[in-house]
A and B are shown apart, each in its own frame.
Chain A
Amino acid sequence: GEEVAQTPKHLVRGEGQKAKLYCAPIKGHSYVFWYQQVLKNEFKFLISFQNENVFDETGMPKERFSAKCLPNSPCSLEIQATKLEDSAVYFCASSPRPGVSYNEQFFGPGTRLTVL
């Protein structure tokens, strides 16, 4: 598609439950980025992919968070055993080739995760 699609729009989980978020990048874009935004404040980079390969995972919490981008499937971000502090809006962005034409990182509308 012509826009980054994220599902679901809202997700509510009880503490300790699993949460799974999905992202469909713009068709033809081979790079996918995940960011976490807490309380409408600054964004925290989590992880990026080049096609199905992890490109940069320096922001990814080592425990409980995992992500995948498999061929012919939406990318996913999964949080095992959610905690209250995981409540945030999770944004996905895609890019045809980051680091060269920098204005080509396009963001989706986000998934709002609320952990109760």
Chain B
Amino acid sequence: GESVGLHLPTLSVQEGDNSIINCAYSNSASDYFIWYKQESGKGPQFIIDIRSNMDKRQGQRVTVLLNKTVKHLSLQIAATQPGDSAVYFCAELGGSGNTGKLIFGQGTTLQVKP
């Protein structure tokens, strides 16, 4: 079946360092992936997305890398700030018929040390 997962439940980094959060997926037919940020007590917030015809996409301080060969994607956050502390989820667009249903991975908690 479809599943999206993350390698590490918690990542602790020093403020100003770069962060890398990883995600593995199992459905080789997946063609669209999204990273979400969830702060305590809030709903997920879109960060960045990538289609399977790309291997890299950059946003403001964030970069998503996609390796289809090993079914792995990562989120890189440059110059991590205290405000980046949150739980990060990767998600894939799942289901047949393109209904928009999202399948989420398990989440990585990012802790930024001042």
Contacts and interface: CB of A to CB of B under 8 A. Distances in A.
Interface of A: 4, 31, 33, 35, 40-43, 45, 48, 55-56, 58-59, 91, 93, 95, 98-99, 102-103, 105-110
A63 to B, nearest CB: 21
B100 A95 contact: yes
Interface of B: 32, 34, 41-46, 49, 87, 89, 91, 93-95, 97-107
B43 A99 contact: no
A107 B101 contact: no
Question: Taking each of A45, A93, A110, which has the highest tally of chain B beta carbons within 10 Å of its own beta carbon?
Answer: A45
6 contacts: A35-B102, A43-B44, A43-B104, A56-B97, A56-B99, A110-B42
A49 to B, nearest CB: 11
Question: Taking each of B42, B44, B91, B95, which has the highest tally of chain A beta carbons within 10 Å of its own beta carbon?
Answer: B44
